[in-house]
């Protein structure tokens, strides 16, 4: 199915705040239908920070439509399962992802986050991204939305998209106005939940021969549980790289102290934490300290992992996508995948607008909310549950993990995956990618003009 992308379509001017995965994906889609947009990024440059990311078949049809899927495969490895070990690297069990491949027709891929970011970034014309643009406030007047930046510049457009992360300035401005009018749900004023902190990096060993798993066709995805509230993962990647991360689960009492902390991908190294694990065995060979030493220090990051699903995602001419609307636990890569789904859904709704009026904008935002809210809530809860399986150290969480690894039936897992993967949103104006798996696919939610 191919839809009309002629100039007869309305062309609202879109201001995108944030040059992360959500913002770049939306920009790529708007570029295709000639909708004028500009991206404003608060950082002076985008740094190649972060660790491994994994995607599954729910978003690959959309990526395939725009020619990104094959390029992503070139910098990725498929992985069949996650293997669990104790501190002595004794295997505790495994969690298979093969059913997702069978259901969707796509293998689960794992890759280095900066590589995927580069694939997206290079598709945006340089003159359509401005860096060092920290938005201080937003306002609406004279039928436009206006942003005011810290360098005393101001810009206006018809639609403002907050793709600026968990501590979104767009969301804060929008919520402030709504709260003053008494129309903001009280739940949206509550703090983030912070259960974990993590230190991550990507090592490039000088002697890759020491790690035979680097030569294997599939990625080796290993989760080590230390039993003291901490855990680590070690994942082999293409180009002889090894992604690693250490996580610490906060106690119930200390969680309250974390709620006021801001998190960003910053080169902030907790040497004392890393030194503690330096001599621990690594599940792919050698010691963890050898991986630390093979990682450029300025590319090691410490982050607090916030979790919150906001109820409100739009008001008047402003709308939120990605982490600005929903901050998932990163277990399973749901945050980035749902940010991409948000972008696809929002672009489809903007494409289907009858005209550029505020009424049509509000209708498009309402349809976007209808398509995405319940699914984001469900995935938010699933991500929190998966985090307990992968990282949880409390007694109940250990029991849940033991049940999943030993007693979860194939039928139960298959049923859950088939239900989740039935939703594979695609881009309205491009030919559909046919279903390659054996699972059902829900009808595409197109809004015809």
pLDDT of 269 over the 50 cut: no
| pLDDT of amino acid 242 | 96
| pLDDT of amino acid 264 | 44
Instruction: Provide the pLDDT confidence category of residue 246 given band limits of 50, 70 and 90.
Output: confident
Q: How far apart are CA 144 and CA 317, in angstroms?
A: 8
Nearest 5°: the CA angle 424, 426, 432 is 110
* pTM of the model as a whole: 0.89
Q: What are the residues facing 77 on neighbouring strands?
A: 110
The H or E element spanning position 403 is helix 395-406
Residues 35, 59, 426, 363, CA torsion sign: negative
358-391 vs 395-406: helix crossing angle, rounded to 10: 90
**Cβ contacts of 86 within 8 Å, gap of 6 or more:** 92, 224, 225, 226, 227
For tokens 């027709």, the residue is 105
For tokens 């360098």, the residue is 151
- The answer to whether the beta carbons of residues 386 and 332 sit under 8 Å apart is yes
In the chain, the percentage of residues whose pLDDT exceeds 90 is: 63
pLDDT of 263 over the 60 cut: no
Q: CA 331, 382, 427, 129: dihedral to nearest 10 degrees?
A: -40
Overall average pLDDT of the 423-446 stretch: 92
Q: How far apart are CA 401 and CA 399, in angstroms?
A: 5
Overall average pLDDT of the 274-293 stretch: 92
Three state DSSP letters for 158-212:
CEEEECCCCCCHHHHHHHHHHHHCCCCCHHHHCCCEEEEEEEEEEECCCCHHHCH
Query: Cα 365 vs. chain centroid, distance in angstroms?
Result: 21
Strands 314-315 and 318-320: antiparallel
Other beta carbons within 10 angstroms of residue 281's beta carbon come to 15
184-198, 311-325, 348-362, 373-387: range with highest mean pLDDT: 311-325
Instruction: State both tokens at 434.
Output: 């046919």
216: phi then psi, degrees, rounded to nearest 5: -75, 150
pLDDT of 251 over the 80 cut: no
| pLDDT of amino acid 268 | 42
Instruction: State both tokens at 76.
Output: 């990725």
Helix (H) and strand (E) counts in the chain? 13, 20
- Name the residue among 277, 296, 196, 200 with its Cα closest to residue 244: 200
pLDDT of 135 over the 80 cut: yes
Q: How far apart are CA 38 and CA 27, in angstroms?
A: 8
What's the pLDDT tens digit per position in 52-81? Answer: 899 999 999 999 999 999 999 999 999 998
Instruction: State both tokens at 251.
Output: 């106690």
Q: CA 157, 134, 369, 259: dihedral to nearest 10 degrees?
A: -160
Overall average pLDDT of the 30-35 stretch: 95
Say whether 136 sits in a helix, a strand or coil: strand
- The larger pLDDT score, comparing residue 388 to residue 174, is at 174
**Chain-wide mean pLDDT for the chain?**
86
In the chain, the percentage of residues whose pLDDT exceeds 70 is: 84
**Cβ contacts of 255 within 8 Å, gap of 6 or more:** 193, 194, 195
Residue 417 DSSP code: H
Q: How far apart are CA 22 and CA 347, in angstroms?
A: 12
Instruction: State both tokens at 333.
Output: 């890569």
Query: Cα 117 vs. chain centroid, distance in angstroms?
Result: 11
Q: How far apart are CA 419 and CA 382, in angstroms?
A: 13
**Cβ contacts of 240 within 8 Å, gap of 6 or more:** 204, 205, 208, 211, 214
| pLDDT of amino acid 150 | 94
pLDDT of 332 over the 80 cut: no
pLDDT of 406 over the 80 cut: no
| pLDDT of amino acid 402 | 63
Instruction: Provide the pLDDT confidence category of residue 308 given band limits of 50, 70 and 90.
Output: very high
What's the pLDDT tens digit per position in 344-393? Answer: 999 999 999 988 899 999 999 999 999 999 999 988 888 777 666 655 55
pLDDT of 90 over the 50 cut: yes
Q: How far apart are CA 236 and CA 264, in angstroms?
A: 25
Residues 340, 342, 348, 350, CA torsion sign: negative
Q: How far apart are CA 201 and CA 51, in angstroms?
A: 6
What's the pLDDT tens digit per position in 103-134? Answer: 999 999 999 998 999 999 999 999 999 999 99
Strands 135-141 and 129-130: unpaired
- The larger pLDDT score, comparing residue 431 to residue 329, is at 431
Instruction: State both tokens at 428.
Output: 């309205």
């Amino acid at each position: 199915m191919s839809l009309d992308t002629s100039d007869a379509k309305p062309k609202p001017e879109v201001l995108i705040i944030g040059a992360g995965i959500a913002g770049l994906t939306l920009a790529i889609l708007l570029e295709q239908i000639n909708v004028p947009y500009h991206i404003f990024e608060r950082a002076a440059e985008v740094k190649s920070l972060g660790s491994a990311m994994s995607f599954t078949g729910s978003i690959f049809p959309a990526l395939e439509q725009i020619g990104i899927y094959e390029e992503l495969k070139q910098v990725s490895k498929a992985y069949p399962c996650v293997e669990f070990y104790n501190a002595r690297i004794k295997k505790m069990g495994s969690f298979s992802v093969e059913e997702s491949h069978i259901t969707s027709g796509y293998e689960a891929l794992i890759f280095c986050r900066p590589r995927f970011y580069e694939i997206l970034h290079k598709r945006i014309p340089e003159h359509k991204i401005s860096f060092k643009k920290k938005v201080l406030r937003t306002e609406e007047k004279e039928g436009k939305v206006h942003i005011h930046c810290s360098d005393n510049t101001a810009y206006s457009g018809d639609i403002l998209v907050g793709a600026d992360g968990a501590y979104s300035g767009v969301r804060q401005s929008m919520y402030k106005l709504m709260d003053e009018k008494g129309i903001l749900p009280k739940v949206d004023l509550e703090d983030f939940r912070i259960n974990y902190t993590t230190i991550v990096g990507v090592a490039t060993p000088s002697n890759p021969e020491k790690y035979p798993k680097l030569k294997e066709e599939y990625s080796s995805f290993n989760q080590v549980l230390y039993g003291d509230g901490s855990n680590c993962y070690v994942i082999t990647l293409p180009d002889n790289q090894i992604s690693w991360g250490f996580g610490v689960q906060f106690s119930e009492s200390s969680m309250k102290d974390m709620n006021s902390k801001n998190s960003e991908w910053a080169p902030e190294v907790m040497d004392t934490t890393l030194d503690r694990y330096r001599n621990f065995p690594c599940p792919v060979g050698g010691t963890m300290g050898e991986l630390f030493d093979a990682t450029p220090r300025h590319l090691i990051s410490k982050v607090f992992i916030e979790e919150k699903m906001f109820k409100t995602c739009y008001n008047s001419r402003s709308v939120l996508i990605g982490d600005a609307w929903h901050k998932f636990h990163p277990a399973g890569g749901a945050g980035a995948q749902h940010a991409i789904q948000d972008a696809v859904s929002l672009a489809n709704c903007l494409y289907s607008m009858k005209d550029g009026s505020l009424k049509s904008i509000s209708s498009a935002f309402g349809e976007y909310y209808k398509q995405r809210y319940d699914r984001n809530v469900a995935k938010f809860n699933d991500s929190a549950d998966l985090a307990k399986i992968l990282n949880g150290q409390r007694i109940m969480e250990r029991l849940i993990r033991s049940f999943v690894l030993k007693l979860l039936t194939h039928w139960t897992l298959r049923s859950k995956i088939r239900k989740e993967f039935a939703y594979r949103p695609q881009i309205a104006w491009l030919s559909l990618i046919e279903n390659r798996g054996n699972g059902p696919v829900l009808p595409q939610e197109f809004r015809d003009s």
